[in-house]
Amino acid sequence: MASTDQLTSRVDASGKPHKRAELYGPANIPWVYWVLGFILLLMPVVASNFVLFQIFGWAFILGMVALSLMFLGGYGGMVSLVQMSVAGLAAYMVAVFGHSGVVQISLGWPWWLTVPVALAIATLFGTITGALAVRTAGIYTIMITLAIATAFFYFVRQNYGVFNGFNGFNQVLPPQLFGVDWRQPVPIYYLTLFFATLAYFVVIYVARTPFGLALQGVRDNPRRMAALGFNVTAHRIAAYAFASFIAAVAGVLLVWLNAQISPGTVAVGPAIDILVIAVIGGIRHPIGPFIGALIFVVLRTFALDVLVLVGIPGERFQLLVGLAFLAIVFWSPDGILGLWPRFRDRMRAASSLTAERDRRL
């Protein structure tokens, strides 16, 4: 399994390996980041409000939730389906402690108190889930987290005292900070962009810290890491805590974007959608989930029109997504991101005799 640095440099598309000291400093930021950052920052100039709000807003948020799954899956080797529930819990907590249309439940705390409390509760929930899930490994983790996500869904649907049951909460609005209505398309675009970018770089940073490297060691060989004196369980639980925090931040943004939260948001379908997003994009690098989320949201928004255009009823959106997902996991386990190196290897194989050896490396 390749180390992260190799992978990042691959995606950076700068063929030569970096030295560590060179990584920091504006001159050494790969040109891809400049271009991408430029496009994203100037997007509101060209894009319509619908695109900013419904496509990019959603893509950034779902991308963050999928990013938390990618962190666990890609660096920790633990595929958790509970990330959407963590995000959903954070969203619910914002509604419960802050303001919402359901005045008999919402406590009406100010946002600067609500948000940290919501983040803390959701992170705690994710960590406890993680502590339970790390008792098992591999395939069991998927099943257990799936079961916990389902239990959470049924619980919020049945609980009327705190979660307001089937109806959930509506009119959960972001605070009017600095005189800006954050639910307008352009402000929420920049808000979600900011946090998505932040989460992206934090994940990249954490993956290179001693903790992140140890986590990748645990992924590749837990027994050897344990023999070296690392506490394998603690590293895994800490990974869950970190990933849950990212998912919780995404959850807060989700409830502000959506202005409502109901059990449908945390059902089994959305929980699996997050996995689909992460896998479609690619689970080896943090940019993957965002690519996957963008594809997913675009598909979800426009599949109807496209399907109708080719003469298939528009409700077959799930079929399209399912087939795309199936094709990707069948032929390219690394998602869209995996296609490029594979293509490059094939080109190289055609031109060089040592290609077979290169690919092995």
Partner 1 sequence: MRSFINRQPIWSLIIFIVLAFFVWAIFAAWPPGFEDVFGKKKVFLNAFFNGITLGALYFLVASGFTLIFGLMKNVNLAHGSLYMLGGYIGYGVAVTTGWWLLSFVVAFIVVGLLGIVLQVVVFRRMEGEDLRQTLVTIGISIVLADLMLWIWGGNFYQILAPEWLSGPVKLPLVTALKSNGEAVYLTYPIVRLVIFLGAVVVGVLMWLALNRTRVGMLIRAGVDDRDMLSATGVRIQRVFVLVFAFGAGLAGIAGVVGGTFQSMAPGEDTRFLLASLVVVIVGGMGSIPGAAVGALIIGLAEQFGSVYFPTYAVVLTFLIMVVVLAFRPQGLFGRTR
Residues contributing to the site for partner 1 (CB under 8 A):
79, 132, 135-136, 138-140, 142-144, 146-148, 150-151, 154-155, 158-159, 268, 272, 275-276, 279, 313, 315-316, 318-319, 321-323, 325-326, 329-330, 333
- What residues does 169 pair with on adjacent strands? 261
Q: Which of 138, 130, 34, 29 is nearest to 78 (CA)?
A: 138
Q: How far is CA 176 from CA 92, 94, 183, 287, in A?
A: 20, 15, 9, 31
Residue with smaller CB distance to partner 1, 3 or 159 = 159
Residue with smaller CB distance to partner 1, 116 or 314 = 314
Using CA of residue 224, residue 229, residue 231, residue 236, what is the dihedral sign? negative
Residue with smaller CB distance to partner 1, 47 or 268 = 268
Q: How far is CA 174 from CA 183, 252, 253, in A?
A: 7, 9, 9
Minimum distance of partner 1 from residue 128's CB (angstroms): 10
Residue with smaller CB distance to partner 1, 44 or 282 = 282
Residue with smaller CB distance to partner 1, 24 or 330 = 330
CA distance 360 to 51: 42
CA distance 65 to 84: 7
130 within 8 A of 244, measured Cβ to Cβ:
yes
Q: Which of 172, 165, 155, 57 is nearest to 114 (CA)?
A: 172
Minimum distance of partner 1 from residue 10's CB (angstroms): 21
Residue with smaller CB distance to partner 1, 234 or 323 = 323
- How is residue 19 annotated by DSSP? P
111 within 8 A of 271, measured Cβ to Cβ:
no
Locate tokens 């077979």: which residue? 356
Residue with smaller CB distance to partner 1, 143 or 234 = 143
CA distance 28 to 10: 15
100 Rama sector, left if φ>0, alpha if ψ -120 to 50, beta otherwise: beta
Minimum distance of partner 1 from residue 62's CB (angstroms): 17
Residue with smaller CB distance to partner 1, 250 or 321 = 321
Minimum distance of partner 1 from residue 333's CB (angstroms): 6
Q: Which two tokens stand for residue 37?
A: 């950052």
How far from the centroid of its chain's Cα atoms is residue 90's Cα? 15
Residue with smaller CB distance to partner 1, 110 or 333 = 333
Minimum distance of partner 1 from residue 92's CB (angstroms): 16
Minimum distance of partner 1 from residue 245's CB (angstroms): 23
Beta-carbon contacts of 224 under 8 Å, excluding residues fewer than 6 positions away, are 217
Minimum distance of partner 1 from residue 275's CB (angstroms): 7
Residue with smaller CB distance to partner 1, 36 or 151 = 151
Minimum distance of partner 1 from residue 140's CB (angstroms): 8
CA distance 114 to 337: 37
Q: Which two tokens stand for residue 223?
A: 């027994």
Minimum distance of partner 1 from residue 329's CB (angstroms): 4
Amino acid type, 135: R
Using CA of residue 257, residue 263, residue 264, residue 267, what is the dihedral sign? positive
Minimum distance of partner 1 from residue 7's CB (angstroms): 18
